[in-house]
Structure 1
Amino acid sequence: MEYLKIDGYRFYNMMTNACNKLEEQREFVNSLNVFPVPDGDTGTNMSMTFRSAVSEIKAKEENCPISQVSKQLSKGALMGARGNSGVILSQILRGMAIGLGDIEEANCHEFANSLLEGCKSAYKAVMRPTEGTILTIVKAAGEKAINSKEENITALMQEVCKHCEEVLNKTPDMLPVLKKANVVDAGGMGFLIILRGMYEALNNNIEVSLAEKKEHISENFMHQQDIDPSQIKFGYCTEFFIKSKGADLEAFKKDLAPYGDSMIVVGEDEIIKIHIHTNDPGLILSKALKLGELSKIKIDNMREQHRRILEAEYPAENQVVSNEIVEKNDDLKKYAFISVASGKGIIEIFRDLGVDYVIEGGQTMNPSTQDILGSINKLNAENIFVLPNNKNIIMAATQAAELSDKNIVVIPTKTIPQGITCVTEFNEYEDTNINIDNMTKAMSKVGTGAITYAVRDTEINGKCIKQGDILGLIEGEIKEVGNDSCGICESLIKQMVNKDSELISLYYGYECEETEVKDLVNRIEKAYPELDVQYINGQQPLYYFIISVE
């Protein structure tokens, strides 16, 4: 169907259809993960981020301005961004909103310009852009669109989709690691699916609603942490919007603060979004009514929700205790720590080291920008250090820091051992900058190994890998392939230890047999009598062992 211009309603249908298509193909995108380890979550991160974006759209009637819908989409993506791919997607949507400005409808050239602005924002968000990734596909979309002679937006999107597919198929030639794994870039495929969904909505004149949400285990795991429901201090998750002009948001925050926690108050274009955990939703809504008209009210009983999810999803032996709820403390501290971690034992280590708040997550369970911002809002400190402990969480943590009005320092830890070392190096009596310097230096001296399993057949660096094989990784690179996790662990340690090494730490997962672990530790102690060797029941999922050599 021909469209010379599109308004907000048509744009809403384009994005909603794209969101549904991405959700349908989420696992396919996940399967394109380069490494065959069980952390291929690009599709999940992009899908959850995009759903958060589309769910934020309130103007769904005909003739609403496209700029209004685009800004709502951008805001939803910003708060819901998960993983590096999700953060990049949020920046694409932010750029598109900038490109659309304040217009009511977009013609072909204006829409093409918004795609180009999406490309520019995405590239700015990445410190060292790499071609052959989602960035390349975004650039292909923007450049093809802006150079097109089409006046019909449907035809424009058809051209863009065709060109992006051609470029995506060339990504293995741009990144050797893709060619070796015989896959195209996962993030690029996710973005192409979005573009195709947008085109399909225009071509078929689709009017569509957001498909029913499919619960992701990882999402439940993060938001419904395995704690005793009776210990949930504020039991009702309350979310709503206020239509208000000139509201004093800071005063409103102070007014709500005594009645709950996990509070987020975001205002944009005379619309205020509220999220708070409270025991009296009625009181919160009553206070909000003084500011203006309420809409999209959602109240969830977290204790009931928590019990239901645990019963449905998690066997009792795998339940984990985390710091989902922290005691509210009105005394201003000089320093506070937030860490991301998975596994009861590892979480307890961070707690014992004085970390104030642990967000449960990691591989396959990347917390969103809003998850991290929510934990920041729970802490009352002059300086808050955030330890992502995973390379795929650093961008979301940085984005959360930029959205906070507190002094947030993201230490870019990529592994659990790096995070633990940073906390041990911290000195509460030192200056902030000295602590940052000390933790950053200490982090760089930690060697990290991991033992996991292959989720599919592939060949990497000359190594033929079959689904189910045990994999040994050092700093994320596959070094060993076999069928004996303990034997591979010994081999990795041998490669990691050098003349300067002093300590070997072994964190074993919940699938490991303790007797086998003790035998392994005995062999390691005999092999390295001059080094200290410690082993901890980390109870982490996915990884049989996490190794630290310092």
Structure 2
Amino acid sequence: MPQTLDAVAVRTWCSLALAGLGRDREEIDSVNVYPVADGDTGTNLYLTVESAHQAVEAVFAAHTGAPGAADVMRAMAHGALIGARGNSGTILSQLLRGMAEVLARPGADLAAALARAAEAAYEAVAHPVEGTVLTVATAAAKAARDVSGDAAAVARAAFDGAGAALEATPGQLEVLGRAGVVDAGGWGLVTVLGALAQALSGEAPAVRHETHPHLDAHACPADPAEESGPAFEVIYLLDADDEAVARLRTRLDALGDSLVVVGGDGLWNVHVHVDDAGAAVEAGVEAGRPHRIRITHFGTPPEPRERVQRAVVAVVPGEGLAGLCAEAGANAVLARPGEAPASGELVDAIRRAHAREVVLLPNDADLRHTAAAAVEQARAEGVRVALIPTRSPVQGIAALAVHAPERRFDEDVVAMTAAAGATRYAELAVAERQSWTTAGICQAGDILGLIDGDVAVIGQDLAATAAAVLDRMLAAGGELVTLVLAADTPPDLAPGLEAHVRETHLAVDTVVYEGGHQGAPLLIGVE
């Protein structure tokens, strides 16, 4: 096993880390008492790594061959940076950035990367505190440096060192000792390092859980002094130069606490707890261009309004289908081309639906894991959620067409699932490069007709290819064709296809929807 991570190992590590945090998320949330006992550290770490995972997969999708290890590691760090949630996620993104800096150098080894990761994390935190994820990261780096062997041995040593340091955190930080729990962020890092060891060795290391009790909120009442902390968590991405960020650190440090600023090369992630959220954002405006601003109030939330009985949440690729969902009484989550929603966005949509029962339609095969994670989290919050594994928006349209909120929940889900499953789906796409497909070799610019996810037709004309796709789908029978057109689709495409279906396939109806700015020029459904 080489001493450095290769591209496939980084990809495997990222996938295993996401799975591990998904497994441990609720337990990590349950021991979250520092810096704020808001019970979301595990969730924040999961969402951060989910963003990293999406960035890594995008790098592989963009290469016909295997990408370079440095490119994949940088993508993992960048994805974590732009998707970092909370104090813990922000620090994890800096740990990954520190590793990426070292692993980009020729001959760099894993131990040196872990050492730089710990240093970078300390540099990013305005007032480092021992007994936290910083302590765990330092212990992991020291253990890695003290072992000889290949990358798998180094990763295993780092995992063991981090685990031992995690067990000691209740004795280092008073609030942890009073609660009888380990540091939540440190636990998350141990999970990530366990995934690294597994990616390099092929074996999952054993994790000790006996000293990771869940927090009993009644057994350890909060210190009144701690409850008087800042009222808001403010997080934003910032485009700014190094000098402006240095001034920003000083200003934000005076405004609040838990200040963490990570990043570099003109892009930063800023995290701070303050009483004056507006002032924290204004400081970012003076330093550069803040965006993706998130402000969370730590106080008691307002009394919730009365819940409705049932709602549908559907992921759609364009504004047109979002409007269609609204007309059908569903809550739409817009997935812009190249920007698939994260599980956190789906959970937020489920919450906004404010219903006791929710049906989730992901409408994309690639969203199945993301949707499953969102459903798991929503169920943990007491919402009854059913996930219908729709793989295309046209299957979602079919499911919505039979949705009847007056039915029993299970009966409604069964009917919607049956309607979606009875709908074959297709889409037209434009080939970006020459490549092999299940229908033969395509050239850049060719029109690809994909049926149920596989390339079935290769053509040069949009209308002719669409007609060929329809003929193949209707050869197996069908009563209704659904066409969803992108905003820039030629205006004569839909009338021509309607005429083609009418003339060549008797007793088949056609319905057309405007999809808006969606990725595919045409989506097709056949029921």
Distance in 1 between residues matched to 2:344 and 2:160, nearest whole Å: 20
Residue aligning to 1:348: 323
Corresponding position: 1:387 with 2:387: no
Corresponding position: 1:68 with 2:133: yes
Corresponding position: 1:141 with 2:200: yes
Residue aligning to 1:530: 507
Equivalent of 2:435 in 458, 461, 475: 458
Runs of 5+ consecutive residues of structure 1 not aligned to the other structure: 3-17, 35-40, 73-95, 120-137, 148-244, 253-269, 278-291, 313-327
8 Å CA contact 2:481–2:511 kept in 1: the answer is: yes
8 Å CA contact 1:341–1:360 kept in 2: the answer is: yes
Q: What is the CA deviation profile of residues 494-546 of structure 1, one whole-angstrom value per residue up to 9, with x for unaligned ones?
A: 11114641101111111212123322322222112311112222124221110
TM alignment of 1:498-513, pairs within 5 A: 498=475, 500-513=477-490
The residue matched to 2:389 in structure 1 has which SS? coil
Q: Indicate the structure whose relative CO is greater, using CA pairs within 8 Å and at least 6 residues apart.
A: 1
Distance 1:535 1:57, change over 3 A: same
Task: Please tell me whether Structure 1 or Structure 2 has the larger radius of gyration of its CA atoms.
Answer: 2
Residue aligning to 1:330: 305
Distance in 2 between residues matched to 1:431 and 1:45, nearest whole Å: 44
Q: How many percent of aligned residue pairs carry the same amino acid?
A: 17
Distance in 2 between residues matched to 1:98 and 1:441, nearest whole Å: 51
Corresponding position: 1:467 with 2:441: no
Q: Give how far 1:246 is off.
A: 4.7
Q: Give how far 1:24 is off.
A: 10
Residue aligning to 1:56: 90
Q: Give how far 1:446 is off.
A: 0.5
8 Å CA contact 1:384–1:407 kept in 2: the answer is: yes
Equivalent of 1:396 in 346, 353, 370: 370
The residue matched to 1:490 in structure 2 has which SS? helix
TM alignment of 1:156-167, pairs within 5 A: none
Question: CA-atom RMSD, angstroms?
Answer: 5.0
Distance 1:351 1:293, change over 3 A: same
Distance in 1 between residues matched to 2:437 and 2:340, nearest whole Å: 25
Residue aligning to 1:30: 61
Distance 1:22 1:520, change over 3 A: closer
The residue matched to 2:372 in structure 1 has which SS? helix
The residue matched to 1:514 in structure 2 has which SS? coil
Distance 1:20 1:477, change over 3 A: closer
Runs of 5+ consecutive residues of structure 2 not aligned to the other structure: 4-48, 66-71, 93-117, 138-158, 170-186, 207-219, 237-255, 260-271, 292-302
Distance in 2 between residues matched to 1:437 and 1:23, nearest whole Å: 31
Corresponding position: 1:367 with 2:341: yes
8 Å CA contact 2:336–2:519 kept in 1: the answer is: no
Residue aligning to 2:332: 358
Matched residue pairs, number?
332
Q: What is the CA deviation profile of residues 300-344 of structure 1, one whole-angstrom value per residue up to 9, with x for unaligned ones?
A: 889x99xx99xx9xxxxxxxxxxxxxxx99232110111111222
Residue aligning to 2:404: 427
The residue matched to 1:459 in structure 2 has which SS? strand
Residue aligning to 1:118: 195
User: What one-letter code is carried by the residue in structure 2 that aligns with 1:504?
Assistant: V
Distance in 1 between residues matched to 2:458 and 2:352, nearest whole Å: 43
Q: What is the CA deviation profile of residues 195-229 of structure 1, one whole-angstrom value per residue up to 9, with x for unaligned ones?
A: xxxxxxxxxxxxxxxxxxxxxxxxxxxxxxxxxxx
Distance in 2 between residues matched to 1:45 and 1:333, nearest whole Å: 40
User: What one-letter code is carried by the residue in structure 1 that aligns with 2:163?
Assistant: L
Distance in 2 between residues matched to 1:374 and 1:111, nearest whole Å: 22
Relative to the length of structure 2, the TM-score reads: 0.52
User: What one-letter code is carried by the residue in structure 2 that aligns with 1:529?
Assistant: L
The residue matched to 1:450 in structure 2 has which SS? strand
User: What one-letter code is carried by the residue in structure 2 that aligns with 1:530?
Assistant: A
The residue matched to 1:393 in structure 2 has which SS? helix
Distance in 2 between residues matched to 1:29 and 1:331, nearest whole Å: 46
Distance 1:449 1:272, change over 3 A: farther
Relative to the length of structure 1, the TM-score reads: 0.50
The residue matched to 2:429 in structure 1 has which SS? strand
